[in-house]
Each structure stands twice: as structure tokens, then as C-alpha cells.
Amino acid sequence: MSEPVNIKLDTGISAPPSAQQKEGDAMVESTYRYDALRDADVNGFSSSRRPTLVTLFGISECGKTTFVGSLFAILCRHPQLLKSTFIDSDTLTGFQRRVHTRYLSEKGISDQPRTQRRAGSILNVVVGNERGDDQRMVIFSDLSGELYNDAASKDEIVIQQTAVKYADKLVIFVDAEKLLPAKNNAYKASLQSLLTRFEGNGMFASNTEYFLVFNKVDLIENETKKAVEGIEDECDIQRKREEVANLWKQRKQSVLDIVSPLINIPQDNIYEICSKGIEYDNEDPGLIALFNRLITEKMPSSLSTEYNWIQKLVKEK
């Protein structure tokens, strides 16, 4: 018999703006019902089992929002790939907005707007196994990358990021687009400052499971195609392909050299993905494998008595 999951949410902030709201009143961002929530609102979720907190970590434009939008899209339209059933969410609008903007950006109609610093970042889903049993809640933190950019140089921003400290699974995004150019030192330096500052402030907890994700690897394939354009000889094509592949290997290694001294990431937790790779029946295998790891594996066990923002939500039940 599956455990019941009961979501109750009454945070006030997700209510529609009041009719009496005077013109000129400061509009609170994310006021749509079911929009993404803020860290503090997570205490409004109620579940019979401690939810899993998955935190997406990375500087602007690395693809965090696209990633979580794609996860939701797959859960709704091809859930067999995740051996899961979508049961419910308190943040449907937050997800739909991400799926929609991803779609527009794919069609070239508009670029995915950057997640605003003050916008809600918390999304949740309740999923069950293929029969809908064994239900559990997964909470995602999709913070604005600008906050992470700021955090690279400011301790006070770092220590506010409770979703990093209490993450069950922390997914560190590396942007292949920024690594590809020969001049990528500034990008690597910002990644290093960011990680060093979080580590220095004790924000990388030892019971968190860490993932390192090289996103936008479709661009490496594009790079290869460009490199072999106009070359006829098969051997020359092969040589060029190997050249691009070796260069990419070196670039990845240079990131691992930055990350490894700061965080222990098992080899199995390093992924190369295309966050946009959700074409039906042609989904990116790396992306699907990672989604499976994030929503199905190693669900938290019983609660510790220690208080923190994510555990409080269950205590209040």
C-alpha cells in the first residue's frame, strides 16, 4: 500500500492580487496562483514523507530553467521514460511558464528570459511509480543565475542560499557554450570563485549528493559539423573529429581540476546533457538518465530531529 501524499499550501503570496490594490503599489513578483514559490514558502508544503530537495546550481544562462522545464514536460508527456507517474504540483504555473518560454526560445520566437533575482525559485512535483503508488514529493530550487553571479564575490549572498546548504541533491551546471571558445579563462575563474566561496562558507554539506553537469553539449556536435564542412577525405574528416573531441576532453578536464579539490563528485554523477533534448521519442539519453537519478533514486529516509527550513515543513504537518 502506498503512503498517502497530502499537499496543502496556503502561503498567501500565491493568491491573486487584490481588487483594491492601488495603482502604484509595489507589485509582488510571482503572484499568480501556482507560480514558483520562495524558499520561506516551502514550509507550507505538507507531505507524509520528507520531500527530496534538488537544487540547480550555476551562474546565469547555464540552462537551469530549461532543465527543470524539460523535466516537467517529460513527466507529463512521456513519463514511461522516468518510470514515474505525475500526480500533482503546487507550482503548475511556474512549470508551465518554464516549458512555454523554452518552447518559444526553441522556435526562435523569443529568448528564454533570465530568471529574475527576486522571482520565486521553488517548484514541486509529487510523483508515483508506474502504477501511481509509492508517492513522493520532489522540490526543485531554480534560483536566478544572477544571484549565483553575485555570490561569486559576496559572502553575505552565499550564506543566504539555504537551498544549497540543505539540498539532498545539488546539480552543478557547467555551460559548454562558455567553455568552447579558446578564451574561456574568465568563465572558469568565475566558476572557481563561486565554488570556493560556497565551500569556504560551509555551504556544501557532507550528506548532499553532488552532480556535475556539462550542459548544451549539442553545441559540441555543431562544432564538429562546422569543423568538417567542406572536407572530402574520410581520413581528414576523422582527424578533425578527433581534434574537436580531444579539445572538448581537455576543456572538461580543466573544469574537473577546479571542482575536484572542492567537492567530491563520483564519476557516475558526471553527465553531459542537452537540456533542450526532449523531442518525443528522440529524447537526449543523458538528460533522461539524469532525470531518473534525480527523481527516483535514494529518496530521503526518516526525519532527523534537527530543525531546518526544509525539515520544518514536515514537522508542522
Ligand X SMILES: Nc1nc2c(ncn2[C@@H]2O[C@H](COP(=O)(O)OP(=O)(O)OP(=O)(O)O)[C@@H](O)[C@H]2O)c(=O)[nH]1
Nearest approach in angstroms of CB 143 to ligand X is 7
Residue 150 interacts with, from Mg ion, ligand X, none (CB under 5-8 Å by kind): none
Nearest approach in angstroms of CB 298 to ligand X is 25
- Compute the C-alpha angle 87/292/66, nearest 5°: 80
49 vs 64 by CB, closer to Mg ion: 64
d(CA 148, CA 133): 37
287 φ/ψ sector (left φ>0, alpha ψ -120 to 50, else beta): alpha
143 vs 295 by CB, closer to ligand X: 143
d(CA 85, CA 78): 10
Task: Map residues 56-95 to x or -, x wherever contact with Mg ion holds by CB under 5 A.
Answer: --------xx------------------------------
Q: Which of 115, 149, 215, 224 binds Mg ion (CB under 5 A)?
A: 115
**Number of chain positions touching Mg ion (CB under 5 A):** 3
Per-position DSSP letters for 210-279, written without gaps between them: EEEEEE-THHHHHHHHHHHTT---HHHHHHHHHHHHHHHHHHHHHHHHHHTTT----GGGEEEE-TT---
**Which residues here bind ligand X, judged by CB under 6 A?**
58, 60-66, 105, 111-112, 114-115, 144-145, 215-216, 218-219, 274-276
49 vs 276 by CB, closer to ligand X: 276
Find out whether 60 and 178 touch, Cβ atoms under 8 Å. Answer: no
Nearest approach in angstroms of CB 274 to ligand X is 4
Find out whether 98 and 113 touch, Cβ atoms under 8 Å. Answer: no
60 vs 129 by CB, closer to Mg ion: 60
Nearest approach in angstroms of CB 305 to ligand X is 35
CA distances from 70 to 64, 65, 279 (A): 10, 8, 10
Nearest approach in angstroms of CB 169 to ligand X is 17
> Minimal CA–CA distance to 293: which of 132, 125, 90, 138?
138
17 vs 113 by CB, closer to Mg ion: 113
Nearest approach in angstroms of CB 60 to Mg ion is 8
88 vs 177 by CB, closer to ligand X: 177
Site for Mg ion contains 14 (CB under 5 A): no
d(CA 98, CA 83): 23
Name residue 174's beta-bridge partners.
214
Which spans of this chain sit near Mg ion (rule: CB under 5 A)? 64-65, 115
